[in-house]
Amino acid sequence: TVVDEKLEGRKGVRKKGVDGQVRSFKEIPHTGRSGWVNLVKFWREDRFRQLHKHMERTFNALGPIYREHLGTQSSVNIILPSDIGELFRSEGLHPERMTLQPWATHRETRHYSKGVFLKNGEEWRVDRLLLNKEVMMSAAVKRFLPLLDEVARDFCRMMQAKVEREGRGEEGKRSLTIDPSPDIFRFALEASCNVIYGERIGLFSSSPSLESQKFIWAVEQMLVTTPPLLYLPHRLLLRIGAPLWTQHATAWDHIFSHAEARIQRWYQRLSSSQGRGSEAGASGGQYSGVLGQLMEKGQLSLDLIKANVTEMMAGGVDTTAVPLQFALFELGRNPEVQERVRQQVRASWEQAGGDPQKALQGAPLLKGTIKEILRLYPVATTVQRRTIKDTILQNYHIPAGTLVQVCLYPLGRSADVFAAPQRFEPDRWVNNGEKGQTVEGSSFRSLAFGFGARQCVGRRIAENEMQLLLMHILLSFHLSVTSSEDIKTTCTLILQPETPPRITFRKL
Ligand code: HEM
């Protein structure tokens, strides 16, 4: 293949073709013509798990644009902010990503509706505008922030009790070294349930319910089984009852049944409040989470509500739990950064008089920390768009309908885009990177949540959830790590640590 033959590396911006003409699509460097040969190679060398590193290596070998053909999929991959800007500028009113076909097939075979993640066109836009009102608009953020804050505070109380009980050192100053990932997954699920269903599920108790553990397991299983199914003819696997397909579909069934039980409960409450003629609705006029809002407003059908809250639950737990693990690790191995962030958080917290929104607004380094973590460890490793018109990228002609992927891991670590890209430096995002930490301007560099009208619908939930947890942890604990070696990462559908890092929590 082109990569294997180690064709001359061509970094930087590509000049016009020999005769000054735009070059053809076929001339874009590629990693091998046959999608099936490439796929076999990927399987043999276990490259799916290292997809992010494979992309980084390929850009280094082939330059800032390349084509890849893998099984049934093909894409053009890009990395430079100028090309990313060009791509997003022409995404149109109904931006389209690569369809996660196995997820779509699950909905079709079970006769379930699809949520915004899987829809396209005007159908997508109608649902999306309704959801934005409940999760993206600033009035909605104001409503759900206290629910996230409550869970973050409870998490810290639970951790304090654990450190006191199991830690070492004198009373009141004990420290405990643990792999915090199981607790963080519980936090993320508890927080999601509180915001989406308006329901606490008691995951910080000593015996969390079997149902919740099953849910966490099912999301993990669904994520792991997705990448291989993306490149295989999964309808054939479905027809022959292949174990990979069965595992995938069963995992989704669990995720759906979790949502189903809650929707039924709400439906009964709503029907009985209507029966009583109550004007305040099932929630008694109190904010009771995204599901409650959607049910009471009644603008989306019950099936569409189910599809969307299920997608939000499935998309909202691992995606926030994993960056939080990386954040604890980076703050732990960079004590000076940790102290700087803590000082700002403390000052802001004291000023805010217990108002979580004010406290976050006064601590921009917390936001910078999250952006920096997602730069180094983008939980979704690519953002994709299907072009709606002919475009030119790196002076190559890209026909309408091409799938173009922005590769976030190599982008975040590129020295052409970020100064000292290996350094964990939340300051680089504060005051528009005034400290010269990005190379040439600042547009199209922070894309972990995607872009524009199709960006992550859970973005405001995720950002606030992660910032609030870090805020309360920094107010309560000093963090350190047992080893400051880089964490090895692996790609399922999301980028995560190969082995979760161990963190020492010392009570302040
Ligand atoms: C750190 C956490 C998260 C990251 C990095 C992340 C990342 C992303 C990205 C990159 C996209 C595609 C955006 C695009 O195409 O432009 C996306 C879409 C989506 N995310 Fe997230 N996400 C996170 C958390 C969440 C949460 C908490 C939820 C649910 C509450 C959620 C639900 C969704 C949904 C439903 C979509 C599809 C939106 C649409 O197509 O209209 N995500 N996310």
Looking at residue 282, its pLDDT comes to 63
Q: Which ligand 1 atom sits closest to the C-alpha of 452?
A: 16
Residue range of the domain that includes 349: 121-386+400-507
Highest averaged pLDDT of the listed ranges 196-210, 430-444, 467-481: 467-481
ipTM of the complex: 0.99
Q: Which of 38, 96, 27 is CA-nearest to residue 72?
A: 38
- Separation between Cα atoms, residue 222 and residue 102, nearest integer Å: 10
Q: Which of 3-17, 122-136, 163-177, 237-251 tops mean pLDDT?
A: 122-136
Amino acid occupying residue 35 = G
- Point out the ligand 1 atom lying closest to the alpha carbon of residue 374: 5
Ligand 1 mean position, distance from CA 240 (Å)? 32
Distance 459 CA to ligand 1 centre (A): 6
Q: Does the beta carbon of 103 lie inside 6 Å of ligand 1?
A: no
For ligand 1, the distance from its centroid to the CA atom of residue 448, given in whole angstroms, is: 9
Q: What distance in angstroms lies between residue 329's CA and the mean position of ligand 1's atoms?
A: 23
Task: Answer yes or no: is 266 within a domain.
Answer: yes
The CATH number linked to 338 is 1.10.630.10
Strands 65-70 and 495-497: unpaired
Q: Are 136 and 460 in contact (CB under 8 A)?
A: yes
Confidence of residue 312 (pLDDT cuts 50, 70, 90): very high
228 within domain boundaries: yes
Does some domain include residue 278? yes
pLDDT at 3 over 50: no
**pLDDT number for residue 442:** 65
Residue 436 confidence (pLDDT) above 80? no
pLDDT score at 6: 35
Residue 18 pLDDT exceeds 60: no
Q: What is the pLDDT of residue 395?
A: 95
Q: Whose CA is nearest to atom 9 of ligand 1?
A: 449
CA 151 to CA 283: how far, in whole Å?
A: 20
Which tens digits make up the pLDDT trace of 266-289?
A: 888 877 777 676 665 666 667 889
Kindly state whether residue 457 falls inside one of the protein's structural domains. Answer: yes
Question: Taking residues 109-130, what's their average pLDDT?
Answer: 96
Q: What is the pLDDT of residue 8?
A: 32
Instruction: Say what the pLDDT of residue 458 is.
Output: 97
Within a domain: residue 267? yes
Query: How high is the pLDDT of residue 441?
Result: 56
Q: What pLDDT does residue 13 have?
A: 46
Determine the atom of ligand 1 nearest the C-alpha atom of 384: 15
In this structure, which residue's CA is closest to atom 31 in ligand 1? Answer: 458
In a domain, 56, yes or no: no
> Taking all residues of the chain, what is their mean pLDDT, rounded to a whole number?
90
Q: What tokens does 322 get? A: 């994993």
The rounded Cα 197 to chain-centroid distance in angstroms is 20
Q: What is the percentage of the chain residues whose pLDDT exceeds 90?
A: 70
Give the pLDDT score at 4: 38
pLDDT in tens, 67-84: 999 888 899 999 999 999
Q: Identify the pLDDT of residue 210.
A: 86
Q: What is the pLDDT of residues 327-354, one digit of tens each?
A: 999 999 999 999 999 999 999 999 999 8
Question: How many angstroms separate the Cα of 389 from the Cα of each of 69, 92, 200, 384, 394?
Answer: 21, 9, 47, 15, 16
CB of 289 closer than 6 A to ligand 1? no
Mention every residue, 6+ apart, whose C-beta is less than 8 A from residue 469.
152, 155, 187, 191, 324
Would you say the pTM of this structure is higher than 0.80?
yes
Binding site for heme, by residue number, is 456
Q: Over pLDDT 70: what percentage of the chain?
A: 92
**Which residue of 382, 456, 464 sits with most ligand 1 atoms within 8 Å of its CB, as the best mutation to test the pocket?**
456
Report residue 319's pLDDT band, with 50, 70 and 90 as the boundaries.
Answer: very high
Q: How confident is the model at residue 12 (pLDDT cuts 50, 70, 90)?
A: very low
Cα of 380 from ligand 1 centre, angstroms: 8
Residue 466 CA, closest ligand 1 atom number: 1
Q: How many domains does the chain have?
A: 1
pLDDT-derived band at 438 (thresholds 50, 70, 90) equals low
